[in-house]
Amino acid sequence: MAVTRNSDAVAPVRSSSAFSIWLTRHASTSIGALGRLSRQPFASLMIVLVIAVTLALPAAINVVVKNAQSVSSSWNNALDFSVYLKLDVSVSEAEGLARLIRQRADVESVDLVTADAALAEFKLASGFGDALDQLSANPLPHALVVRPGPGNTGASLTLLQEEIGNLPETDLVQVDTEWVQRFHAILDIVRKAIAIGSALLGIAIVVIIGNTIRLDIENRREEIEVTKLIGASNAFVRRPFLWTGFWYGLLGGTSALALVQYGLYLLKEPVTRLAGLYQGNITVVTLGISESLTIIGAAVFLGLFASWVTAARHMRRIEPR
Amino acid sequence: MIQLDNVTKRFPGGQEALSGLSLSVDKGEMVFVTGHSGAGKSTLLRLIALIERPTSGQVIVDNQNTRRVKRRKIPAYRRQIGMVFQDHKLLYDRPVFDNVALPLIIAGVSHRDAGRRVRAALDQVSLLHKEKQSPQTLSAGEQQRVGIARAIVTRPKVLIADEPTGNLDPDLSLEVMRIFRRFNEVGVTLLIASHDISLIDRLGCRRIALEEGKLQQEADPWQ
């Protein structure tokens, strides 16, 4: 057996290939971490499911709110409100005001109903035509019928009405359909509740993944000690655990997405039937690509964050004895 | 190559593992540390491996004062030293090849180079044909040889071994010592803790005897 001259230490890595080596190592570590998960399929599946359900909950409620919103947007004409101008406002002033309001981003259209037009309509509708002819002057003011844009929430509608109500030309803003606004206000609250709930569930996911990684680290304590003993840095021993967190996040996020989409698929048929009964054209709004990516991205981020915090904390403590 | 100046190691309990120990091992030397258990052999090696820090005094390895090696630099420092343990400290969840390759992976050696060097190291301990086996299927002597292959795969200048033959019968012990001897012949400096005095005498190497953390005698058979 030939023994070669061994006196030089580890040959330095050529810088040109250092990046590709780094990449190869990461690839093999990530596959190794995935392999480790697949070797305990039941335990891994449980954790992925917990993450999936935890993420699917807020995502599903969010979809329901979106659908409720899309349904209520077909009630847009119900959101119209009338603005009665003061009696001393002239037609040209009223037209100017209509133009001004029309320019607002949160307004879809503004119709001017002049005093004369209103009187004519009233004559026709009321049947008091002859009696009204006796009036020497038109007692009606000019009015604007404002239709808010589809993007409005309950709060922004109220704001819009207040702002128009505060204009010097305005006498009175009349909202006939306050229930729609209340509905929107409820949606606003639900949306805020989702945000708070999502934050809490996010913390839960961090705790779940962090705890799993912590157990994993404890189980592999000896391996970590040995690896450190032969010169591994904290970053090196941390790497497989970061990948584990990454995979938990990715698999959990993807499963959450699958759960929500499957739920929507189940709801599609009964909703279409209901829509048919009301002769409305209600379609189920599903998660878009950007929303899907947000869910998966959030899951991956939470997985990485949890494993990073846990691994960083424990790796420093595990030293060879 | 290895130099200790007036090194004392006192544990939190108050007992001293080493008391004002000074010694030096020259480049290319193969030296045994002997003594009863508790004499301070392991502590000496642990100070060299920076698993422990001395309470006072200096440990200098390959012109590096370990006192100046910061915590963050310990991994890089350890990569320069080969270490062999009584209980092998192999990873049983992966085959022999991966165990030996681990130091190279840590050092960031490319996959192709690593494969070549792992096989060379396994060849030197005559275990090339067992690279795919799990360490569990190997005998104690074979496991120790895997541990040695792992220690030398990075071609360290210094190799320290703590009771490398502690669990082996005399024949296997001699085999392991012969492997060490061959490394020594190509210039590796070795410091080996052992209590197997008859074996050491057969090899004819310098012996440092410790007793209660102090130098007992320095017996050099060549003088």
CA-wise closest residue to B21 among B30, B35, A221: B35
Low-confidence residues of chain B: pLDDT under 50: 221-223
Q: Are residues B167 and B181 in the same domain?
A: yes
| Average pLDDT of every residue of chain A | 83
B183 touches chain A (CB under 8 A): yes
B64 touches chain A (CB under 8 A): no
End position of a domain, from candidates B155, B189, B204: B155
Query: What is the β-pairing status of strands B189-193 and B206-211?
Result: unpaired
**How far does B110 lie from chain A, in Å, by closest CA?**
6
Supply the pLDDT for residue A177: 66
Supply the pLDDT for residue A2: 42
Q: How far is CA A176 from CA A83, A172, B65, B125, B218, in A?
A: 11, 13, 86, 92, 106
In a domain, B86, yes or no: no
How far, in Å, CA of A252 to CA of A171, rounded? Answer: 57
Asked if A3's CB is within 8 angstroms of B183's CB, the reply is yes
**How far does B111 lie from chain A, in Å, by closest CA?**
8
B124 touches chain A (CB under 8 A): yes
End position of a domain, from candidates A139, A155, A176: A176
The mean pLDDT of A121-133, rounded to a whole number, is 76
**How far does A307 lie from chain B, in Å, by closest CA?**
21
Q: Are residues A235 and A162 in the same domain?
A: no
Supply the pLDDT for residue A5: 42
Q: Are residues A60 and A120 in the same domain?
A: no
At residue A281 the predicted structure's pLDDT band, cuts being 50, 70 and 90, is: low
Structural domain harbouring A114? 81-176
The answer to whether the beta carbons of residues A190 and A65 sit under 8 Å apart is yes
Q: Are residues B39 and B127 in the same domain?
A: no
Counting runs of H as helices and runs of E as strands, what totals does chain A give? 10, 4
In a domain, B89, yes or no: no
The answer to whether the beta carbons of residues B8 and B185 sit under 8 Å apart is no
Highest mean pLDDT among A236-250, A276-290, B155-169: A236-250
End position of a domain, from candidates A176, A202, A220: A176
Indicate the number of domains in chain A: 2
Q: How many CB atoms lie within 10 A of CB B203?
A: 17
The answer to whether the beta carbons of residues B2 and B48 sit under 8 Å apart is yes
What whole-number percentage of chain A has pLDDT above 90? 26
Supply the pLDDT for residue B104: 93
Q: Which of A30-34, A153-157, A195-199, A240-244 has the lowest mean pLDDT?
A: A153-157
Q: What CATH code is carried by the domain that includes residue A150?
A: 3.30.70.3040
The answer to whether the beta carbons of residues A212 and A309 sit under 8 Å apart is no
The mean pLDDT of A31-42, rounded to a whole number, is 88
For an interface test with A, the pick among B42, B98, B105, B129 (most A C-beta atoms closer than 10 Å) comes out as B105
Highest mean pLDDT among A114-118, A186-190, A217-221, B217-221: A217-221
At residue A248 the predicted structure's pLDDT band, cuts being 50, 70 and 90, is: very high
How far, in Å, CA of A206 to CA of A307, rounded? Answer: 8
Q: DSSP of B62-87, one letter per residue?
A: TTEEGGG--GGGHHHHHTTEEEE-TT
CA-wise closest residue to A181 among A164, A165, A158: A158
Supply the pLDDT for residue A183: 79
Q: Which two tokens stand for residue A62?
A: 């969010």
- Asked whether residue A100 carries a pLDDT value surpassing 60, the answer given is yes
Q: How far is CA B119 from CA A91, A273, B122, B174, B183, in A?
A: 97, 70, 5, 23, 16
Asked if A229's CB is within 8 angstroms of B83's CB, the reply is yes
The answer to whether the beta carbons of residues A9 and B80 sit under 8 Å apart is yes
Structural domain harbouring B188? 1-80+157-223
Indicate the number of domains in chain B: 2
- Asked whether residue A30 carries a pLDDT value surpassing 70, the answer given is yes
CA-wise closest residue to A209 among A299, A318, A292, A295: A299
At residue A71 the predicted structure's pLDDT band, cuts being 50, 70 and 90, is: confident
Q: Are residues A188 and A110 in the same domain?
A: no
Supply the pLDDT for residue A7: 40
Q: Are residues A121 and A146 in the same domain?
A: yes
Q: Are residues B46 and B9 in the same domain?
A: yes
At residue A78 the predicted structure's pLDDT band, cuts being 50, 70 and 90, is: low
Supply the pLDDT for residue A19: 82
Q: Kindly provide the ipTM of the predicted complex, given to two decimals.
A: 0.88
